[in-house]
Amino acid sequence: MIDQTALPLRFSYVTYTTPEQVARGISTMVVRGAPAIGVAAAMGVALAVVRSKRRDVAGLVKEAEAAGALLRSTRPTAVNLFWGIDRVLEAIRPSKTAEEAKEIAVTEVKKMEEEDVMANRKLGKFGSALIEDGDTILTQCNAGALATVGYGTALGVVRAAVEEGKLVKVIAPETRPALQGARLTAYELTSDGIDCTLISDTAVGYMLSQGRVDKVVVGADRITKDGYVFNKIGTYQEAVLAHRHKVPFYVAAPKSTFDLSRDHSQVVIEERSSNEVVKVRGRRIAPKGVRVANPAFDSTPPELVTRMITDVGLLSQPYPLGITSMMG
């Protein structure tokens, strides 16, 4: 996997051989982004299956379930994580032999890799129809190739529009405290030759009020059955400000990000370490003893979302009805 904590200063890969290592990589955001951690968690379960010395299927499945439980504990908000774990576990349970289970686990995660890129390309194509030549798009965090197996969700829409010959510019907020916008989105876009302007998080309202944003396109970590969008902290304020300034607000997410079993009141918002807030790249910037709140995600209500862009088409209001009919 690409070590995303090292970017943009160093491009390097890390190799994981145990589910415990994968879990640590997810927790520390070596790998992050909802679709990416979904496939990574699935790989973690597959590692447990392949490494198991159990000869009986029941024992092997039990070990895989234990690995799944560990991986589930890493990050509670992104539903793709749980989807990826469950998909591998469900695939191996009917196995007749341990060897068959191992083959199935490996085949399943490879299939998930391929499906993710395909879904993102489909999503990008649907979303590009909403983008006009010359648009400036505001995004949040990193919802690009780094957040997926490849291509991206919100940035997949941008890429698809560019591939169609449209001139598109992107405004990327830095996305404190982990700086995914500054470190990852800006890195991806500049590497691909796509016009990118980096701003501080506090400049979002100003840019919208000055007419410097034509559309907002963000990703999602979970979309509940009642249409609430859980995404990186700062997304909700972008939605509110976009609504205030009559700028379309689009959410781009594959089918695996939709949670048909929960409404928004049942979702746990991850609280991360205070060190992410009081330190920048390891250097302390806040006084010792200050209390810190560090929610990693926020929730955007459906009435603030103009359209949802998915790999099976575009969703419009009322979202609960569309989610049930298209994703069920």
249-275 confidence digits (pLDDT tens) = 999 999 999 999 999 999 999 999 999
Higher pLDDT, 325 or 181: 181
Instruction: Give 315's strand partners.
Output: 308
List, in order of start, the domains of the chain with CATH numbers: 19-121 (1.20.120.420), 124-327 (3.40.50.10470)
Cβ distance 161 to 168 under 8 Å?
yes
User: Which ranges in the chain belong to alpha helices (H)?
Assistant: 19-27, 34-51, 57-72, 79-92, 98-128, 154-163, 180, 186-191, 204-209, 235-244, 275-278, 319-327
Whether 225 shows a pLDDT value over 90: the answer reads yes
What is each CA distance from 282 to 45, 127, 177, 277, 294, in whole angstroms? 32, 38, 12, 10, 16
> What phi, psi does 15 have (nearest 5°)?
-115, 130
The predicted pLDDT at position 84 comes to: 97
Cβ distance 16 to 50 under 8 Å?
no
The predicted pLDDT at position 282 comes to: 87
Mean pLDDT of 125-131: 98
Mean pLDDT of 28-56: 97
- Residue 149 makes CB contacts below 8 A (sequence gap 6+) with 35, 36, 39, 112, 113, 116, 117, 120
Mean pLDDT of 322-328: 87
Whether 328 shows a pLDDT value over 80: the answer reads no
Distance CA(260)–CA(313), nearest Å, equals: 17
Cβ distance 304 to 250 under 8 Å?
no
Distance CA(196)–CA(190), nearest Å, equals: 7
Instruction: Give 137's strand partners.
Output: 170, 215
The predicted pLDDT at position 2 comes to: 96
Distance CA(232)–CA(175), nearest Å, equals: 8
**The tokens of 288 are what?**
């010792």
Residue with tokens 């396109």, as numbered in its chain:
217
Catalytic residue among 221, 259, 298, 311: 221
Nearest to residue 298, comparing CAs of 269, 259, 272, 276? 269
- Residue 253 makes CB contacts below 8 A (sequence gap 6+) with 34, 123, 153, 219, 220, 223, 308, 309, 310
**The tokens of 155 are what?**
């940035």
Tell me what percent of the residues of the chain surpass a pLDDT of 90.
97
For residue 230, the SS3 value is strand
pLDDT tens digit sequence for 166-224 = 999 999 999 999 999 999 999 999 999 999 999 999 999 999 999 999 999 999 999 99
Question: Is 221 a known active-site residue?
Answer: yes
Mean pLDDT of 3-31: 97
The pTM for the full model equals 0.96
The predicted pLDDT at position 327 comes to: 85
Centre a 10 Å sphere on the Cβ of residue 88 and count the other Cβ atoms it contains: 27
Distance CA(67)–CA(103), nearest Å, equals: 18
For the CA atoms of 276, 281, 285, 289, the dihedral, rounded to the nearest 10 degrees, stands at: 40
